Amino acid sequence: MAVAIKGALKVASSSSTSAADSRTDRLRNVLVDELLAMGKITSSRVEAAFRTVPRHAFVPAGTPLEDVYHVDKSVITKTDEHGAHLSSVSATYIQARMIEQAGVDAGMRVLEVGSGGYNAALLAEVVGAAGAVVSVDIDADITERATALLEAAGYGDRVTVAQADASLGVPDAGIFDRILVTAGAWDLPAALLEHLAPDGVIVVPLRMNGVTRTIAFRHAADHLVSTSTELAGFVPMQGVGARPERIFRLPDGKGRHVSLRFDTGAPQDIHLLDGVLAAERTAVWSSVAVAGSESFADVYLWFAGFLPGFCLLAADAGTDLHGERDWFPFGVVRGDSFAYFAFRPAAVEGRSELGARAYGAHGAEAATAMVEQIRAWDRHARGGPEPTFAFWPTGTAPDAVVGDVAVLDKTSGRLTISWPTAS
């Protein structure tokens, strides 16, 4: 496979370092102040780690320092032959947040799944001399790169880097107080969970019907229960735990496509949708209006749990859909028709009414199914506390499902998403 891996920034010679050092120190401190103000760093140990570790020593040569010391820019370090991202140094806000979500502290043993070097160095600072950090990656290019960069930055004897497919477990690695998974996972494999101490915490970006949340889980009797979540995207998990999406490209008759991406529940016969983009369009509105400043990312999670046929949507430049600005990339398929999440100006100025537009003979049905879930979210979840996620490994029995609980089957167990009104 043709891949591109990017080298590390060369360390400047000591005679030319002082001006550069003071610039990187300044940028690093500004970044940390921003992460503190955003509430992404909440503890003094994590703050000290971010003020100490030179992030620029772990990114490819030529990466602008403003991008290196940015709150939400990841830096890509490896792509595949199609340009898809295989590895990156994650954005600082999510690195900070995951370490805080995990509650990493002095003396702990921490496993990082997905290497790069920088995050492992942060973890080494947080756990200190009495702790231990093991970082594993499925890709030998990445472990070699991380090993060399950690060595050069002075962390060579504080982090153990190993090559492994974490979904199969890490041979001889033992038990960890904390596990941080830094690739997008669809499942929580038993072999990985076996490394988690009984009172341990695992933080994992979990994919739920195409919607990802980075979730901190703790053991609760025979299952895991969430303690916090964060919005973030990650490069996908590879190896035995890889779970490719199914992508259907609907032609618009002019050489362009609208793509529907399914995580689970792809339609049996997608050809029913042949020619659908040429069909009449319809719209159904919900009477649910949102202000411009209101976050409604939870609607997507609600759809992912409760709307059968849910998918992600993308439109090629030049398609009619691409030219429109009043929709979000979430859809639902019903037989020969599909609907997508849309909005229009509401009666009250500054607010938008949520709804669905649809293509196809049964478009109204598809749009109505989506609108019913927008209304359900509005009644049960809007503005409320975030849901609780629980993972029930195969062989355990989830609590009886009552109220607003979405149930998603995974390979190694069952995930439930309980919205607070259900309890």
**What minimum distance in Å lies between the beta carbon of 162 and ligand SAM?**
10
Q: Point out the catalytic residue in the list 90, 135, 286, 418.
A: 90
User: In whole angstroms, what is the distance from residue 91 CA to residue 410 CA?
Assistant: 28
Nearer to ligand SAM, 137 or 353 (CB): 137
Cβ-contact 130, 34 below 8 angstroms: no
User: In whole angstroms, what is the distance from residue 372 CA to residue 376 CA?
Assistant: 6
Separate counts of helices (H) and strands (E) for the chain: 10, 20
φ, ψ (nearest 5 deg) of residue 257: -135, 155
Which of 107, 154, 239, 384 touches ligand SAM by CB under 6 A? 239
**What minimum distance in Å lies between the beta carbon of 301 and ligand SAM?**
22
Nearer to ligand SAM, 110 or 258 (CB): 110
User: Strand, coil or helix: what is 159?
Assistant: strand
Taking CB under 6 A as the rule, does residue 123 contact ligand SAM? no
The pairing of strands 257-262 and 310-315 is antiparallel
Instruction: Give buried/exposed letters for 108-125 (b at 16+ CB in 10 A, else e).
Output: bbbbbbbbbbbbbbbbbb
**What minimum distance in Å lies between the beta carbon of 17 and ligand SAM?**
24
Which of 50, 69, 176, 234 touches ligand SAM by CB under 6 A? 234
Build a one-symbol-per-residue string for 83-122: x at contacts with ligand SAM by CB under 6 A, - elsewhere. ---xxxxx----x----------------xxxxx-xx---
81-89, 272-280, 369-377, 399-407 -> range binding ligand SAM (CB under 6 A)? 81-89
Which of 46, 132, 237, 301 touches ligand SAM by CB under 6 A? 237
Tokens in use for 138? 């499925």
Nearer to ligand SAM, 141 or 320 (CB): 141
User: Strand, coil or helix: what is 373?
Assistant: helix
Interacting residues with ligand SAM between 157 and 186 (CB under 6 A)? 165-167, 182-183
Give the total of residues touching ligand SAM (CB under 6 A).
Answer: 29
Has 352 been annotated as catalytic? no
Nearer to ligand SAM, 132 or 136 (CB): 136
Nearer to ligand SAM, 234 or 389 (CB): 234
**What minimum distance in Å lies between the beta carbon of 188 and ligand SAM?**
12
25-33, 43-51, 235-243, 396-404 -> range binding ligand SAM (CB under 6 A)? 235-243
DSSP state of 318: T
Please, is 198 exposed, middle or buried when counting C-beta atoms within 10 Å of its C-beta (0-12, 13-18, 19+)? exposed
User: In whole angstroms, what is the distance from residue 178 CA to residue 116 CA?
Assistant: 18
User: CB-hemisphere CA count at 13 Å for 185?
Assistant: 25
Count the neighbouring beta carbons within 10 Å of the beta carbon of residue 358.
29
Please, is 190 exposed, middle or buried when counting C-beta atoms within 10 Å of its C-beta (0-12, 13-18, 19+)? middle
Interacting residues with ligand SAM between 308 and 347 (CB under 6 A)? none
The pairing of strands 176-181 and 109-113 is parallel
Nearer to ligand SAM, 65 or 240 (CB): 240
Taking CB under 6 A as the rule, does residue 235 contact ligand SAM? yes
Which of 139, 263, 336, 378 touches ligand SAM by CB under 6 A? 139
**What minimum distance in Å lies between the beta carbon of 91 and ligand SAM?**
9
Count the neighbouring beta carbons within 10 Å of the beta carbon of residue 293.
6
What are the catalytic residues?
Answer: 90
* Site for ligand SAM, rule CB under 6 A: 86-90, 95, 112-116, 118-119, 136-139, 142, 165-167, 182-183, 234-235, 237-239, 241
